[in-house]
Amino acid sequence: MIWETNIQTSTASKSLLHVLSSNKVAKDNLVLVSTGRSIYAVSSIDGVISWRKDFTLDDLEIKQVIQSPENDIVSVVGVAGSSKLALYQLNAKSGEIVKDAQESLPGGLCGETVLGSHDVLIALDQTRSAIFVIEFKGLSLSYNKVRVSNFVQDLSGTVKLLPLMSNGIIALQSSCTVYLLKLKGMDGLEVIHSFDRPAAVSDALAITEKDEAFAVVQHVGSQIEFIVKVTSDLSNEVIREKVDIDQHRGSVQKVFLNNYVRTDKSHGFRALIVMEDHSILLVQQGAVVWSREDGLASIVDVMASELPVEKEGVSVANVEHNLFEWLKGHMLKLKGTLMLASADELAAIQSLRLRSSEKNKMTRDHNGFRKLLIILTKAGKVMALHTGDGRIIWSNFLPFLRASKSGEISSALRIYQWQVPHHRVMRENPSILVVGRSGGDSVSPGVLSILDSYSGEELNSQRFDHSVAQIIPLILKDSSEQRLHLIVDSNSLAHLYPRSPDALKSFIHERSNLYFYSVDIQENAIRGYSLQKSCDLNLEDEYCFSTKELWSIVFPSDAERIAISETRKLNEVVHTQAKISADQDVMYKYVSKNLVFVATVSPKAAGEIGSAAPEEASLVAYLIDAVTGRILHRVTHHGAQGPVHAVVSENWVVYHYFNLRAHRFEIAVIEIYDQSRADNKDVMKLILGKHNLSAPITSYSRPDVTVKSQSYFFTHSVKAMAVTQTAKGITSKQLLIGTIGDQVLALDKRFLDPRRSLNPTQQEKEEGIIPLTDSLPIIPQSYVTHSLQVEALRGIVAIPAKLESTTLVFTYGVDLFYTRLAPSRTYDSLTDEFSYALLLITIAALVAALVVTWVWSEKKELRDKWR
């Protein structure tokens, strides 16, 4: 990268980029960036902002930047409010306003504008049924309003301008047709061509001085039709090709045209097609040349699933598809060993080896390293990636999440484990639950789909008659091992899934002990609810439960705003409730699934770092019991501000924030210990089992907790935070910190131990307590991602492997990264380098030596006897 310039914008508005073209090659060209009512000129050589202009007109939004071909004058066209059009002419070198003009247009503007020619602007009016043709010659603005229905017959609904053509051709999209209009001076437009139900229309691409080509893609049955036309001659088609496309990619969303010159000097075209599932395809000469699953760049949720158990008695031919393939593979390998293989064949051998290598097998392994990562993308596609090499095992573009099928914008929300077969239903495949929403807003009804996690087939799908506000997976399971889920809608009614009498029975049995809480960021409050017997509204629906508010914590809005709420992962396993120090003292951890960490920041300091003075910024961390709403601990950090990232595990919370006084980021740790069990120290009682340590805990007993905390400086700002998870929870933990450099840093929890002190005693040193330092060390070797970067890192997921020492880490952003970590080294397995052969040889040699010496001694004894 040569340079990067950040331009601070105050309001969220669409920004435009315009590169000033200049005839002088290799000169410092300016890049004009316009956003809202400001325009910046950035040098293309070093990225320095050479000038900046803020226009004084209120609510101005710059729509077009036009460079005049003759001189260094740049025209900036903006829309202010709903009806005012403003034109500014600037000196491109200095940014001074040369001239400006403003005009109010009757009927208002909807904001869509497009450049008809270099001095004609086309704008759509507020009702989207009329077009303004605005001409600006010099500084005079003249306009003409034309109703769309005047030149387009049988138009229904409203229209949209497509930023498509030049040459005086404008593309207009109505609900099902795209019209191409020709500009005829000031007074009118004429339809010259129309396309019925096109899937996508590309931007125009200049191929000669005056000719521009554009592409249109239409769906024809299971195929797509790809048409290229030239603007100068719309009646002819340059290309009309039919291309076969996978059905599971949905409909075409966008098309980008690209041309190349064939050997006979004619123009050939290729197109990049963006599909509904966010995959991209390159189409050329009637075929898909390559495709890419770019939906993987927008992951919404991830979970891990086990692979099938290896079945015995599966023949070789079955595994390798057919015998011929198998033979061919072996022939290739033979060629490889005899050094007869060509480069292509060597590559084939390599890929065969990779496919059949241990880590890429499609079966469960003993250590639990091989898993399926099930990924839900924003487009609504569910994909299963193999952890061995990241290949896609199956993908399913869920029909209910396709806008083309349901006709509304739907969104994929979450993915959960639905059924993990054990004893009784061992034969069945595990399944996953995908919850989505059919509609853009939070009150639109939800949908669920259950997929087989081995094959991706949809087993069941259901459309709710209620919305989805929260999904709460419960610990309960029904008789077919389906996990119970509570879905809370926007009216605070809880709905139980799966809808089976069996599930209902086990739920009713536990209902009085189940609660839920909701962190309302808008109202700045946390509320806890209990579940009532049945719905008030709908008595027939026995799977619906009304809720009753039990408690609420309302934060003062003028001093605190909720920044983050975090809980322990539901599947986290804690090995022990006791923490033992070097002097054999026992502390009992406060381990609770209902512990919620909430951090609030002062509203003044809610903006960016540096926007608030240290005196007016503060961060308050709360530990709340989600059943009773009791605040177990509260701590205020003065002069601290967000963004806050936190992770909760076992009995501790680690959170990251910015310290304004020290001008540095900080990481703080809070550990919570249960004081009410602290007197369980009599050895005799413990031996005889006369203690209350394994008695069930209720949140309604008076909690007596002690808290230890400490904070440290940390160099990086953080994008995501997670903690390693292991199968039994014995292995020590590491924090996984996604840094601003898009890397993942593994930091030992030992560095975040509130018992650290400046001079630890000998005993504490033996225990492994590190002397206290003001900042956390960043050891370059502890970067999990090594030298790689996970572009635009967003989330880190830790999955326990079957082997206790090992945890699987999946990091996602635009890139995906997967690795295996052993926070305390692999103490429970031999390393890969361990030579089993040497061990076997040694054993064999020893056995042989034993036999030989035994024979010798026997012989010698016999000889001695005969002497």
Partner 1 sequence: MEKGKGLARRWAVELHDASSSSSSFPDPPGFTRSAPEADDAATARQRKDSEVAWKGQKAWEVAQAPFKNLMMMGFMMWMAGSTVHLFSIGIVFSALFQPFNALRSVGKVFEPFKDPRVDTLAPKLLFIALNLAAMGLGVWKLNTLGLLPTNASDWVSSLSPAREVEYSGGGIPLI
| Site residues for partner 1 per CB under 8 A | 413-414, 437, 442, 468-475, 486, 488, 490, 513-521, 528, 565, 567, 570, 574-578, 580, 584-586, 588-589, 591-594, 626-627, 680-683, 686-687, 693-700, 867
Smallest separation, CB 534 to partner 1 (Å)? 20
Smallest separation, CB 575 to partner 1 (Å)? 7
> For partner 1, which is the closer residue by CB, 700 or 827?
700
Q: How far is CA 390 from CA 35, 353, 371, 776, in A?
A: 40, 16, 10, 33
Using DSSP, state whether 593 is helix, strand or coil: coil
Question: What is the dihedral sign for C-alpha 827, 831, 836, 838?
Answer: negative
Using DSSP, state whether 386 is helix, strand or coil: strand
Instruction: Provide φ and ψ at 153, rounded to 5°.
Output: -80, 160
Question: Residue 77 half-sphere exposure, CB side, CA atoms within 13 Å?
Answer: 27
Smallest separation, CB 194 to partner 1 (Å)? 40
Using DSSP, state whether 267 is helix, strand or coil: strand
Q: How far is CA 499 from CA 444, 461, 502, 503, 653, in A?
A: 21, 13, 8, 7, 36
Strand partners, 19: 31
Smallest separation, CB 387 to partner 1 (Å)? 28
Specify the DSSP element, H or E, that contains 447: strand 445-452
**CA 99 to CA 51: how far, in whole Å?**
17
> For partner 1, which is the closer residue by CB, 48 or 686?
686
Q: Record the tokens describing residue 761, joined without a space.
A: 């005693």
Smallest separation, CB 675 to partner 1 (Å)? 15
The residue with tokens 């091989």 is 370
**CA 189 to CA 794: how far, in whole Å?**
48
Strand partners, 820: 808
Q: Record the tokens describing residue 504, joined without a space.
A: 């209902």
First-to-last alpha carbon distance for the chain, in angstroms, is: 92
Smallest separation, CB 516 to partner 1 (Å)? 4
Smallest separation, CB 602 to partner 1 (Å)? 20
Smallest separation, CB 591 to partner 1 (Å)? 4
> For partner 1, which is the closer residue by CB, 292 or 860?
860
> For partner 1, which is the closer residue by CB, 296 or 486?
486
> For partner 1, which is the closer residue by CB, 443 or 662?
443
> For partner 1, which is the closer residue by CB, 627 or 746?
627
Helices (H), 205-361: 316-319, 323-337, 343-356
Q: How far is CA 507 from CA 26, 276, 486, in A?
A: 73, 39, 10
For every residue of 624-679, DSSP letters joined together read EETTT--EEEEEEEETEEEEEEEEEETTEEEEEEEETTTTEEEEEEEEEEESTTTT
Residues whose CB is less than 8 angstroms from the CB of residue 863 and which lie 6 or more positions away in sequence, other chains included: none
**CA 91 to CA 74: how far, in whole Å?**
6
**CA 660 to CA 604: how far, in whole Å?**
13
Smallest separation, CB 579 to partner 1 (Å)? 9
> For partner 1, which is the closer residue by CB, 346 or 586?
586
> For partner 1, which is the closer residue by CB, 328 or 691?
691
Specify the DSSP element, H or E, that contains 474: strand 470-477
> For partner 1, which is the closer residue by CB, 75 or 600?
600
Q: Choose among 722, 729, 723, 724: nearest CA to 804.
A: 729
Smallest separation, CB 543 to partner 1 (Å)? 17
Contacts 24+ apart (CB under 8 A), 500-507: 502/478, 503/476, 503/478, 504/542, 504/543, 506/476, 506/477, 506/478, 507/474, 507/476
- Contact (Cβ atoms closer than 8 angstroms) between residue 472 and residue 518: no
> For partner 1, which is the closer residue by CB, 181 or 447?
447
Strand partners, 190: 182
Amino acid at position 313, single letter: G
> For partner 1, which is the closer residue by CB, 277 or 301?
301
Smallest separation, CB 283 to partner 1 (Å)? 37
> For partner 1, which is the closer residue by CB, 519 or 808?
519
Q: Choose among 650, 668, 645: nearest CA to 566.
A: 645
**CA 273 to CA 271: how far, in whole Å?**
6
Smallest separation, CB 800 to partner 1 (Å)? 16
Instruction: Provide φ and ψ at 502, rounded to 5°.
Output: -65, -45
> For partner 1, which is the closer residue by CB, 698 or 759?
698
Smallest separation, CB 144 to partner 1 (Å)? 44
The residue with tokens 């924090």 is 735
Q: Record the tokens describing residue 26, joined without a space.
A: 């290799």
Smallest separation, CB 679 to partner 1 (Å)? 10
* SS3 assignment for 158-206: CCEEECCCCCCEEEEECCCEEEEEEEECCCEEEEEEEEECCCEECCCEE
Smallest separation, CB 112 to partner 1 (Å)? 28
For every residue of 403-415, DSSP letters joined together read HHHHSS-EEEEEE
Amino acid at position 840, single letter: L
Question: What is the dihedral sign for C-alpha 24, 29, 34, 38?
Answer: negative
Amino acid at position 380, single letter: G
**CA 95 to CA 88: how far, in whole Å?**
11
The residue with tokens 């299971």 is 222
Smallest separation, CB 336 to partner 1 (Å)? 50
Smallest separation, CB 761 to partner 1 (Å)? 17
Smallest separation, CB 33 to partner 1 (Å)? 30
